[in-house]
A and B are shown apart, each in its own frame.
Chain A
Amino acid sequence: MIAFLLKRAANAAFVMLAVALLAFVIFRFFGDPVEMMVNEQATQADRAELRERLGLNDGLVTQYTRFVTNAVQGDFGISYRNQQDVMVLIKERFPATLELVLVATVISLVVGIPLGVITAVHRNSRLANVLQLGSIVGVSLPSFVVGILLILAFSVSLGWLPGFGRGETVNIGWWSTGFLTPSGRAALILPSISLSTFQVTLVMRLVRAEMLETLRTDYVKFARARGVPTARVQWRHALRNCLMPVITLTGMQIGNLIAFALVTETVFQWPGMGMLFIQAVTFVDIPVMAAYLMIVSFIFVALNTAVDITYAWVDPRLRDDTARAGGANG
């Protein structure tokens, strides 16, 4: 187990170093950092001084090492656009994104699991077929289209819910939360639904597939034979055994959701990390881009590694690392 742990940790570290290399290359070679930072009137001497201070005259290996060391300590440099510390900018925006992602995840479980059970239990019924078709539609709907249609229906036509922004927020330490005010909660509804559409169908399909398999097992048949009510067998005995893969999927998908939130955030003008990133892309604000890339990849890799390790802990057969679960893509 220890060997496995070390191997997975080394693997994750390697991937993060590679991502850091990519971020470093982007930072160093696309646009001259000095030209981006100084103002127009800066003299040649000023520029040379800044170049020296940023350490851009050192060898590339030294620079890369320093880049990684700084990043590990949470120092991603200064934003080109508004001259602020990148980490401060991201810290400000992170709660908005995480709250959105959490609510979307909860929605996907609360809606996806029952739908999956229903489609599996009443297989071939009309309801199940409709839901099954609905799940294909759900996978095919681009999340920004869902967002736009929701805004059109519930904000523009009906005027029930806010279609942009985060509403009022309350600060708890550095964490700004929208959960504690009515306008903050109302503002969460549409974006989290639009972010969760894809996820709901994913959970639903997975639960359905797992349930179909579990319903065929002997212990389910035995429970029925013993006279346990059908609904109880389905919703307690069988469902409980389907939840492990669902938890795995949910864990791995959180990284994807954080990345995908940037689309939802753009649609809803949601002041999260994703919006920050898209603005950075528009203004070629490379330190912000590099930091976002590394933070999201870190969350992604950390979650995947954690899931792998949990699996190996639960099921010793997986420890010999021959069958690594393929990475999620989407």
Chain B
Amino acid sequence: MSDTATHDRSALDAPAAPTRPSRLERLRDSDLWYSFRSHPSAIFAAVLLGLVALTAFLAPLITPQNPYDLAALELWNAEIPPIWNAEGQWPYLLGTDTQGRDILSAILYGSRISLIIGSCSVLVALAVGLSLGLVAGYVGGWVDNVIMRVGDVLLSMPFILIAILITAIAAASLPPSLKDVLAAPILIFAIAVPSWVQYARTVRASAMVEARKEYVQAARLIRVKAWRIMLHHILPNCMTPIMVAATLNFGLAILSEATLSFLGVGMPPDQPSLGTLIRIGNQYLFSGLWWIVVFPSIQLCLIVLSVNMIGDWLRDALNPKLR
């Protein structure tokens, strides 16, 4: 109805009224895009992350070998140093490990796993945190109390400890045949459990404020369903801090996954993430095979660094005080 109204009015003074810009045009016109363009570090980070993601997801097409395919590994190709070394060999740009696995291929496949686990755990934490936070703030009472108390307890244990305990318990209680298959879902769960609280707290705070405002009271009066009020009216009002937190937590999630895999409670060696590769490489630290451990480490740092740079930029760009 409101649509036709505006349409009619714009039809009346047609020459002056601009047509409603498309989504892309609005994006190009926004403050956020302007801020992005004027921050070289943000552009650099976005390009870097884009490149990493692209090469990771195209890994099967561009890598010289499939590092998981044991049949493709030849032992006489083992321990080849990087290509710029005198003993380097094409196509093993970054050398091979002790089983003849191409390091570059392993890194690209590993990045894929790291990125997937990182993003999935942020999405799960967001889904859980936003819904519990909305319910706690909107409904209040004992529901609120229970949810926030559980959150308090989770926050009073160090993040990494909770994640290790979850993976350890899962590993101990699952049959060995399922353990490797479920390694990725377990990791996603283990990282999401300690991280939903932050979102829930943020959303709860603004849900409590919004729930008392007149437009929400009005919506209640005309019997708009509670979940609709929460999702369409309250949630959009607190998306800014959530977006910043989610970006920074994406970096933290990748870091946590790598740490867990490095400690040996994460991805198994036959489907290695970057952390697993570093764990494997760490065993050869003292035997001069530095490339096995250094290159996956660099890749991990580049991913987390670019995510953090984007998060930092986003936090400043969306902070009204700094405008």
Contact = CB atoms under 8 A, between A and B. Distances in A.
Interface in B35-53: 41
A67 B309 CA distance: 46
B285 interface: yes
A256 interface: yes
B255 A142 contact: yes
B273 interface: no
B264 A282 contact: yes
Contacts of B58: none
Given A145-B301, A263-B263, A281-B265, A136 B308 contact: yes
A152 B285 contact: yes
B262 A26 contact: no
B156 A278 contact: no
Q: Quick one: which of B255, B278, B307 has the most chain A CB within 10 A? A: B255
A301 B161 CA distance: 14
B173 interface: yes
A213 to B, nearest CB: 12
A19 B156 contact: yes
A205 to B, nearest CB: 10
A77 to B, nearest CB: 17
Interface string A248-285: 00000001101110110011000000000110011010
A262 B260 CA distance: 11
Nearest to B305: A140
Contacts of A255: 158
B254 to A, nearest CB: 9
The B interface, classified by DSSP as helix, strand, loop or mixed, is: helix
Interface in B123-162: 149, 152-153, 155-161
Interface stretch (A42-50, A52-60, A165-173, A289-297): A289-297
A148 B263 CA distance: 13
B302 to A, nearest CB: 9
A259 B158 contact: yes
A148 B282 CA distance: 7
Given A140-B305, A142-B304, A152-B290, A19 B169 contact: no
A47 to B, nearest CB: 21
Contact of B157 (A133, A282, A300): A300
Interface residues of A, number: 50
Contacts of A180: none
A22 B312 CA distance: 36
A116 B297 CA distance: 27
A330 B258 CA distance: 14
A1 interface: no
B89 to A, nearest CB: 23
Contact of B156 (A149, A289, A327): A327
A174 interface: no
A182 interface: no
B293 interface: yes
Interface string A114-135: 0000000000000000000100
B305 A136 contact: yes
A260 B158 contact: yes
Interface of A: 11, 14-15, 18-19, 22, 26, 30-31, 133, 136-137, 139-145, 148-149, 151-152, 156, 163, 255-256, 258-260, 262-263, 266-267, 277-278, 281-282, 284, 289, 293, 296-297, 300-301, 304, 326-327, 329-330
Which 9 residue pairs of A and B lie closest in terms of their CB atoms, listed nearest first?
A: A259-B158, A327-B155, A140-B305, A140-B304, A18-B153, A281-B168, A145-B297, A15-B156, A284-B172
25 contacts: A11-B152, A15-B156, A136-B309, A136-B312, A140-B304, A142-B255, A142-B262, A142-B301, A144-B258, A148-B278, A148-B282, A149-B297, A151-B285, A152-B285, A256-B158, A259-B159, A260-B158, A263-B263, A266-B262, A267-B282, A277-B164, A278-B264, A300-B157, A300-B158, A329-B155
Given A137-B305, A142-B297, A255-B158, 12 more contacts: A14-B149, A30-B172, A31-B172, A140-B251, A148-B285, A148-B297, A149-B297, A259-B160, A260-B158, A263-B263, A278-B264, A293-B157
